[in-house]
Structure 1
Amino acid sequence: MVTKNSRNLGEKSIGKLLIQQAAPASIGILVMSLNILIDTIFVGNWIGSTAIAAINVVLPVSFFIAALGMAIGIGGSSIISRALGSNNAQKALKTFGNQITLTLILTISLVIVGLFFVDSLIPTFGGKGEIFDPAKVYYKIVLYGVPFLALCMMGNTVIRAEGKPKFAMIAMIIPSVGNLVLDYILINQMNFGMAGAAWATTASYLCCFGYIFWFFLSKNSELKISLPHFGLDKAILKEISSLGFVTLARQAVVSVIYLLMNNILFDLGGEDAVAIYAIIGRMLMFALFPVLGVTQGFLPIAGFNYGAQKFDRVRKTVRTAILYACGLGLLVFGGIMIFAEEIVKIFTQNPQIVAGTPDAMRWVFAATPIVAIQLIGAAYFQAVGKATPALLLTLSRQGFFFIPLILILPNYFGALGVWLSFPIADLLSTLVTAFFLNREIKVKLNPAGS
């Protein structure tokens, strides 16, 4: 069962492996982020800045449902990586089958609920005033495609767990390119407005699903499941849930943050303030792609070697990943500090937004050089199957620190308090994660025990 591709995770040089795994992941995230970025530029220039705010309102709902797929994918992939490392073929196959069944059941159920409560959900997430109507148009169409997106997110992590990062990269590129092409046709050429933007996004999810479906049917995949593997297994479901809940909780917190930020900023500055946050949010997705790529590349290497009890390699993987990711984070920090004004003008020419966004963006990215420590640290505990510390560390940044800060600081500093909350939360969560990760390395991954 352990083929050359997965066996390499336990044998090749850590530095080369990390680059081999992280580069395709980074490229895939880059293209996906560029898709979101350019999509926002198209919408802002071809429809208007209110449309940018409308899409930002819809994101928490669609992201949360899609996050189910990501959570099931990452939780199951941690099991698959460790199963491949310990040469347990049946557990890997059964886990993958359970991932598919669980994703379908949960996402379809949530889509039905989401469509039923559409008129109450949109205002709750900040879709007020002029934002409501375009947000409703976008929401209803995009929600139809979200189950396919969830399956794509789940399948992509499994592909990476098999040691096939290039195929995972292609799976991320396909919907990005498709969305941009369809954006141009449906918005610019056919003048379909928000409906065109929504259908372009939904069709891109279907394209990605088609590719991933082909991959698992082809000879490229090691995981050849059959009908019995789809039957839910209580023990596997429990393990998927405990590990996947880390990712789901993180995405749920992201949705709550969107809800709070959209409402807080709308009260402080109306539609323009929500649009400023939408632009900064897109830059967070885009600019951090190399750091997130290293984090994604780190997961299967750490999981496989931990399963194979090669603790010296796990320790080296952690340190190398942090070194690479912090270096890349420093480059991102420099770029944002220097080119903030130029970046904003790409999205919109609205004078209020152009004036208000650059300084806010600089505050949001102020702690970027160190945030990689928090990301890699939380990812380590998830990769090795330690769900509780993974959950707590994952939630520390956005849940335990950021949400209280955005509820408190704006009362004293107005909109500036919102932007200051980002670097303060990053700093505090990084210090906490560094403490627990260092203790884990000394106790569990020390040379004597490897």
Structure 2
Amino acid sequence: MNSNVDRVNMMESDDIGKVIWKFAIPGIIASLISAAYNIVDTAFVGFLNDTLAMGAVSVVFPLFILINAIGQMIGVGSSSYIARLLGAKDKEEADKVASTAIISAIVLGGVFTILILIFLEPLLKLLGATDSIMPYALEYAKPIAIGASLPILIPTMANIVRSEGNIKVSANVVAISAVINIILDPIFMFGLDMGVAGAAVATVLSQCVSVAILLIYFISKKGYLKVSISNFRFSKDIYKQILSVGFSTFLTQGLISISMGLLNIAAKPYGEALIAALGISLKLSSLVIFVVLGYNQGFQPIASYNYGAKNYGKLRQSIKISIKRTTIFSTLATIVLMVFAPSAIHLFSNDPEVINIGVKTLRTTILMYPLLGFTQMYAALYQSLGMPKQALLVGTSRQGLFFVPIVFILPSIIGMEGVLLTQPIADLLTVMVTAVFAYKTNKILKDKECDDENGYTINELSEI
């Protein structure tokens, strides 16, 4: 237990840059492994040498994102609240929140498994499946649907583990799951001749391992938080706190799913090759996103804790350091993907049409990625501080507020180029919105740091 207390106390350290690295590195490693799994998984599907199978993966992926969004809603919302409670030294309430969140995730997981299985085919049509792709999409989606409760439970428990400062356990779960998935892919796809369905079965089995590890962690009481049925509370206040922050995450993730579906629909008139290319580009560009999100996993509990403890100077310092680090990474990663785009696309397909379209798609998609760290860091910050309005607006701008109208309008005006340009234009507008909020937030935090008694109250941050 002492090591858990030490992790909590570490968040008050003066060397905030070093502490963020200690918290972030396991998350970054886990995210890199997870991104690598996504790429390897897609590459294995590419070995089937079937553009329709690749298109099926592209169509089903938004459904997986949508399922995961439920878990992220509960996990991010509860972890933000828990970290703030720990910063305020209220462990008893933090135990109740953790228990309530996990039990609620188990119940919701069962409900969504049933719903998705009932409405699977209509969902796939909404996500852009063509008549040619649909048989492959159903084959791939059915195992994912059966295991739909798993990607709800995993992010819920993993985020709660992070909230108590135990980033390593959370990261190890992701890493172990990804490695198992990579091992099982060729066994089920080629050894057992299950094709694209084998990739889905491998994913579900690896997720079962993740859930088992996390449940053992809580049941064996290895963590700082005490999770038990007796701590469960059907409390309006707890759910309100979870949803006030978590709903913006759900909406953000849900809009990613919707935007990917809309992009697939917009790509339909230009053939299955473009749908496949969009899926490949998404997996490759996710390398950048996953690392930034992995870093933010380390940043968030520190931000929440210092905000709850009213250590505004450390909070401002952690923001500056994190923006600098994520921007440097995002810029370097964008340059690498731009230069090696042809080789990267070729890893997933031998179809000349897919390769040609894929190179252009990837390079266009990542045009604004050097500023991805800036926008994602502030989205994470507002979640951490329990500021739902700001988290909602900044978090939903990229894939919702700007993306949705652009994807409806631009392709109808300039055709396929409009499909490709939708994301970078939405990214540019998101940067502008984030900059406005960032300026106001930093001004309030600076005033608060200079004069804690006469400056702003915590609630006044929510008014920016």
Q: What range is the shorter-chain TM-score in?
A: over 0.9
Q: How do 1:94-105 and structure 2 match up within 5 A?
A: 94-105=96-107
Find the counterpart in structure 2 of residue 420 from structure 1.
Answer: 421
Give the Å deviation of 1:270. Answer: 1.5
Find the counterpart in structure 2 of residue 432 from structure 1.
Answer: 433
Find the counterpart in structure 1 of residue 460 from structure 2.
Answer: none
| Kept in 1: contact 2:53–2:196 (CA 8 A) | yes
Give the Å deviation of 1:194. Answer: 2.1
Find the counterpart in structure 1 of residue 290 from structure 2.
Answer: 289
Find the counterpart in structure 1 of residue 299 from structure 2.
Answer: 298
Moved more, 139-148 or 269-278: 139-148
**Aligned counterpart for 1:140 among listed residues 122, 139, 142:** 142
Find the counterpart in structure 2 of residue 384 from structure 1.
Answer: 385
Give the Å deviation of 1:435. Answer: 1.4
Give the Å deviation of 1:12. Answer: 4.5
Please give the alpha-carbon distance, in whole angstroms, between the structure 2 residues aligned to 1:317 and 1:62: 32
Q: How do 1:40-439 and structure 2 match up within 5 A?
A: 40-46=42-48, 48-267=50-269, 269-439=270-440
| Kept in 1: contact 2:49–2:350 (CA 8 A) | no
The one-letter code of the counterpart of 1:320 is I
The one-letter code of the counterpart of 1:407 is F
* TM-score in terms of structure 1 length: 0.97
Please give the alpha-carbon distance, in whole angstroms, between the structure 2 residues aligned to 1:58 and 1:359: 23
Please give the alpha-carbon distance, in whole angstroms, between the structure 1 residues aligned to 2:126 and 2:368: 30
Listed one character per residue, the Cα deviations across residues 396-445 of structure 1 (whole Å, up to 9, x for unaligned) are 12211111111111122211112212222111111211111121111134
Q: Give secondary structure in 1 for the equivalent of 2:149.
A: helix
Give the Å deviation of 1:46. Answer: 2.6
| Kept in 2: contact 1:183–1:196 (CA 8 A) | yes
Give the Å deviation of 1:47. Answer: 5.5
| Kept in 2: contact 1:141–1:202 (CA 8 A) | yes
Please give the alpha-carbon distance, in whole angstroms, between the structure 1 residues aligned to 2:124 and 2:420: 24
| Kept in 2: contact 1:149–1:205 (CA 8 A) | yes
The one-letter code of the counterpart of 2:443 is K
| Kept in 1: contact 2:285–2:362 (CA 8 A) | no
Please give the alpha-carbon distance, in whole angstroms, between the structure 1 residues aligned to 2:116 and 2:237: 30
The one-letter code of the counterpart of 1:95 is V
Give the Å deviation of 1:315. Answer: 0.6
Q: Give secondary structure in 1 for the equivalent of 2:367.
A: coil
Please give the alpha-carbon distance, in whole angstroms, between the structure 2 residues aligned to 1:342 and 1:449: 55
Structure 1 pair 445/81, CA: closer, same or farther in 2 (3 Å)? farther
Q: Give secondary structure in 1 for the equivalent of 2:132.
A: helix
Q: Give secondary structure in 1 for the equivalent of 2:129.
A: coil
Moved more, 179-188 or 417-426: 417-426
| Kept in 2: contact 1:61–1:255 (CA 8 A) | yes
Give the Å deviation of 1:178. Answer: 1.0
Listed one character per residue, the Cα deviations across residues 90-149 of structure 1 (whole Å, up to 9, x for unaligned) are 111111111112212222212211111123222221122221011111211111212122
| Kept in 1: contact 2:112–2:149 (CA 8 A) | no
Structure 2, unmatched stretches of 5+, are 453-464
Please give the alpha-carbon distance, in whole angstroms, between the structure 1 residues aligned to 2:177 and 2:49: 22
Q: Runs of 4 or more off by more than 6 Å in structure 1? A: none
Please give the alpha-carbon distance, in whole angstroms, between the structure 2 residues aligned to 1:183 and 1:114: 24
| Kept in 1: contact 2:322–2:377 (CA 8 A) | yes
| Kept in 1: contact 2:316–2:445 (CA 8 A) | no
| Kept in 2: contact 1:72–1:240 (CA 8 A) | yes
Please give the alpha-carbon distance, in whole angstroms, between the structure 1 residues aligned to 2:122 and 2:370: 40
Please give the alpha-carbon distance, in whole angstroms, between the structure 2 residues aligned to 1:166 and 1:120: 40
Find the counterpart in structure 2 of residue 33 from structure 1.
Answer: 35
| Kept in 2: contact 1:47–1:194 (CA 8 A) | no
| Kept in 2: contact 1:299–1:379 (CA 8 A) | yes
| Kept in 1: contact 2:292–2:326 (CA 8 A) | yes
The one-letter code of the counterpart of 1:196 is G
Sequence identity percentage: 32
| Kept in 2: contact 1:288–1:332 (CA 8 A) | no
* TM-score in terms of structure 2 length: 0.94
Moved more, 406-415 or 242-251: 406-415
Q: Give secondary structure in 2 for the equivalent of 1:6.
A: helix
| Kept in 1: contact 2:411–2:419 (CA 8 A) | yes
Please give the alpha-carbon distance, in whole angstroms, between the structure 2 residues aligned to 1:101 and 1:127: 34
Listed one character per residue, the Cα deviations across residues 80-99 of structure 1 (whole Å, up to 9, x for unaligned) are 10111111011111111111
Structure 1, unmatched stretches of 5+, are none
Please give the alpha-carbon distance, in whole angstroms, between the structure 2 residues aligned to 1:272 and 1:7: 53
| Kept in 2: contact 1:294–1:324 (CA 8 A) | no
Moved more, 301-310 or 370-379: 370-379
| Kept in 2: contact 1:326–1:369 (CA 8 A) | yes
Give the Å deviation of 1:60. Answer: 2.1
| Kept in 1: contact 2:112–2:148 (CA 8 A) | no
| Kept in 2: contact 1:257–1:403 (CA 8 A) | yes
